Chains A and B, each alone.
Chain A
Amino acid sequence: MKTIPLDRAPPTLADAPQRAGFPGYLACFNGIVWREMLRFIHQRERFLSALVRPLVWLFIFAAGFRQVLGVSIIPPYETYVLYEVFVTPGLIGMILLFNAMQSSLSMVYDRETGTMRTLLVSPFPRWFLLTSKLIGGGAVALLQVYVFLLIAYAWEIEPPLLGYLTVLPALFLASLMLGALALFMSSIIKQLENFAGVMNFVIFPMFFASSALYPLWRIRESSPLLYEICRFNPFTHAVELIRFALYAQIDPASLAAVLGFTAVFLAAAIYAYNPSKGLLGRRGAPGGTA
């Protein structure tokens, strides 16, 4: 075992052998995921804000809308639910969405500070590096979601016990999809300042034009066009997948949609991060002229 110098980051990448077998891939994967985790743990404010955001929605927003639902039973619920219960999967989706965006935000930051080069000069295939990065971001999100669910339980949001287990693959898949989307977007954005602007154009429309805050039949009542937009929104499918999984059920349509969107976004991100073909190369290196 080779000793890893501490001053090089991320060390496991730099030290990966040229023709690494499975152990090499594993070391690389661990390195990237661990870096994401460390980054998250070291940023206590980020953990707090990631938690406070959905909790504010749950405790304040949902309290105001408590009486909104309870007029119709929609699957997977078998009886009438309070708004808090309905909005919980949507808020889980929000955690994943913000986390994905933040993780990609770090890509832009990495690019500006030059750490990204360390990642991208690694001998491992680009798709592997990017997917590892997404999984690292996803692992961070899962941590946040389970802490959120724990607090929500005290607020009488009590899905079946099995649901806490069955929601795991749904969370993983949804975070992969959102992460891939964010990664693709981060390849187009060159500077942090631009990133914030684009996020506003992406996060808010995606979040509001979805089934996170209100059932889609409600939206259909007011605007059939908006309803169609919501149905096409990948975030809607991520939320629905989580909603059903939290009650130990599978929504096949959402599962298919999330899988499809994940494949498309991931392919786009990998393409975009390919220096010879992708948008990254064409647009030039960070700090360069546009």
Chain B
Amino acid sequence: MRLTSFLSTGALLLLASTANGYTVFVSNEKDNTVSVIDSTTLEVTKTIKVGQRPRGIVLARNGEWLLICASDDNVVQVFDTRTLEFVKNLPSGPDPELFTLHPKGNPLYIANEDDNIVTVVDIEKGSVLSEIPVGVEPEGMGISPDGTILVNTSETTNMAHFIDTQSNKTVDHVLVDARPRYAQFTPDGSQVWVSSEIGGTVSVIDVKTRKPVGKVSFQINGVNADAIQPVGIRITRDGKTAFVALGPANRVAVVDTASLKVERYLLVGQRVWQLAFTPDEKLLFTTNGTSNDVSIIDVEKLRVTKSVKVGRYPWGVAIAPF
């Protein structure tokens, strides 16, 4: 009797604790660790040892798996997000940097920075399905919401490569500004936004015509233009607002997607790199590479509320729905 009541209280407590908080995972490139942050308390609850030079991280299997690009180990590691235990390695091709998961949950598309290819991997079977040749130094990976089109950016070729996910073949290439880093589709799938680190711009490309339809430029009083290096991009579910990490400008730009005008710059830590929303879209987490912390933005108020210390060179961020 006492045991059952104890158990039911425990279950209730568990339910209560899972109801409001999310688990945030941050890859620390230099420390070979992943910091685990509770989105309610905004404190690092655990730091787990992972492979060498972890960069891109993404969740799979509805948040049960955490996939990590261990760039210097040339593998993608799989961790269980609840137990934080290592599950298995996935083949990745050499030097995986960034990847994206098919909206259906499989396969995984990995950019291999050194080999100028995109590797397609079945995450359940752990097998390589295909290797797609792209431009020099592939990095940014974005997939359309319906999963039919994959966009890869190559840092040296300065192109966004459109790949048909049915045939795994490149179907088009769009020239963008120097050193494209990241590709992000709008939620309706009509546009893809590509950030150019050296060019200092974000190109907006129409997915149907594969033509650039606009460009977002940035200007911050007191910040040198060459310090403005756009990298990570996130767009709200309603498609109205985009957040762009501006690297060494230490700012996140808030962009109105209709006018392509910057509404506000939010001061965060140094060399802000990647971004991730909590599933309820109330908070946006930023990884700040050289100040070794993560800044948390209140999405509704557009204010930076806190910065939390993590490991050295935080790079990627992924947030589990529990």
Contact = CB atoms under 8 A, between A and B. Distances in A.
A209 B268 CA distance: 29
Given A66-B222, A79-B295, A80-B295, A71 B306 contact: no
Contacts of A81: 267
Given A66-B221, A67-B222, A70-B250, A80 B306 contact: no
A79 B221 contact: no
A52 to B, nearest CB: 23
Given A67-B222, A71-B270, A80 B305 contact: no
A66 B223 CA distance: 9
Given A79-B306, A80-B269, 19 more contacts: A63-B222, A66-B221, A66-B222, A67-B222, A70-B267, A70-B270, A71-B270, A73-B293, A73-B307, A78-B305, A78-B307, A79-B305, A79-B307, A80-B250, A80-B267, A80-B268, A80-B291, A80-B307, A158-B303
Interface of B: 221-223, 250, 267-270, 291, 293, 295-296, 303-307
A40 B102 CA distance: 70
A175 to B, nearest CB: 30
Contacts of B304: 79-80
Contacts of A82: 267
List the 3 closest pairs (A to B, CB-CB), nearest first.
A79-B307, A78-B306, A66-B222
Interface of A: 63, 66-67, 70-71, 73, 78-82, 158
29 contacts: A63-B222, A66-B221, A66-B222, A67-B222, A67-B223, A70-B267, A70-B270, A71-B270, A71-B291, A73-B293, A73-B307, A78-B305, A78-B307, A79-B267, A79-B268, A79-B295, A79-B304, A79-B305, A79-B306, A79-B307, A80-B250, A80-B267, A80-B268, A80-B269, A80-B291, A80-B304, A81-B267, A82-B267, A158-B303
A80 B293 CA distance: 11
A76 to B, nearest CB: 12
Most buried by B among A63, A78, A79, A81: A79
Most buried by B among A67, A70, A80, A158: A80
Contacts of B291: 71, 80
A63 B222 CA distance: 8
A163 to B, nearest CB: 14
Contacts of A66: 221-222
Nearest to A66: B222
A79 B293 CA distance: 10
Contacts of B296: 79
A80 B252 CA distance: 13
Most buried by A among B221, B267, B268: B267
Contacts of A158: 303
A66 B305 CA distance: 19
A268 B9 CA distance: 63
A68 B186 CA distance: 36
Nearest to A72: B291
Nearest to A69: B267
Contacts of A70: 250, 267, 270
A82 B307 CA distance: 14
A33 to B, nearest CB: 38
A158 to B, nearest CB: 8
Contacts of A67: 222-223
Nearest to A85: B267
Nearest to A78: B306
Contacts of A80: 250, 267-269, 291, 295, 304, 307
A82 B220 CA distance: 13
A158 B295 CA distance: 18
A117 to B, nearest CB: 55
Contacts of B270: 70-71
A63 B220 CA distance: 13
Contacts of A78: 305-307
A142 to B, nearest CB: 27
Most buried by B among A67, A82, A158: A67
B285 to A, nearest CB: 12
Nearest to A73: B307
A232 to B, nearest CB: 31
Contacts of B269: 80
Contacts of B250: 70, 80
A189 B293 CA distance: 53
A3 B307 CA distance: 63
B290 to A, nearest CB: 10
A288 to B, nearest CB: 56
A158 B305 CA distance: 12
